Amino acid sequence: MAWRRRRGIFDLFDYLLEDIERDLRLFEEQFERLMEEAMRSGEVKVERYGPYVYGFSITIGPDGRPIIREFGNVRRGIEGAKVEEEFEPLVDVIEEDDQITVVAELPGVSKDKIKVKVSEDYIEIRASNSKKYYKRIRLPAKVNPETAKAKFNNGVLEVIVEKKEKKKKEGEVEVKIE
């Protein structure tokens, strides 16, 4: 008797599943019919925007406050979300006493397709292969652009640049020689 009860519950699920599958097939057939009619009439333009990528990273800044950085190709705007052709890569900015390191993830890009511009205040990364990437990173301190060095390995770009004014370590004093 217990077997029949369990069997009855499974029968109910099977029935519901068959019912859902039938409804989905009908919906799919109706949708295909409507799309074919719209395409024949010329009233519908089919545009492909994807893929859509949006994400964010959260790190803690030197002052203990969280820093939220967005990445991807979906941007917020006045009229809502806007999808752009260029992806914004995930980027980390590491500030040390005497230098700043910027690490950017650029999967699917070859080394010769990357352009990096460095100024005193920002680093601009542009890359294009099968995907296009663009990011302008405001630096936390002024840097000396002539000291910039870049390495690229396995889809990860690392740009190291020296600061204009280097921080002194606590307990150290610079002595002028006369």
Euclidean distance between CA atoms 136 and 132, whole angstroms? 14
CATH number of 54-162: 2.60.40.790
Q: What pLDDT does residue 122 have?
A: 94
Q: How far is CA 119 from CA 55, 104, 147, 152, in A?
A: 27, 17, 11, 20
* 71 or 25, which is more confident: 25
Q: What pLDDT does residue 169 have?
A: 61
| Mean pLDDT across the chain | 79
Q: What pLDDT does residue 156 have?
A: 94
pTM exceeds 0.85: no
pLDDT at 23 over 50: yes
Structural domain boundaries in the chain: 1-45, 54-162
In the three-class reduction of DSSP (H, G, I as helix; E, B as strand; rest coil), residue 39 is classed as: helix
Q: What pLDDT does residue 1 have?
A: 45
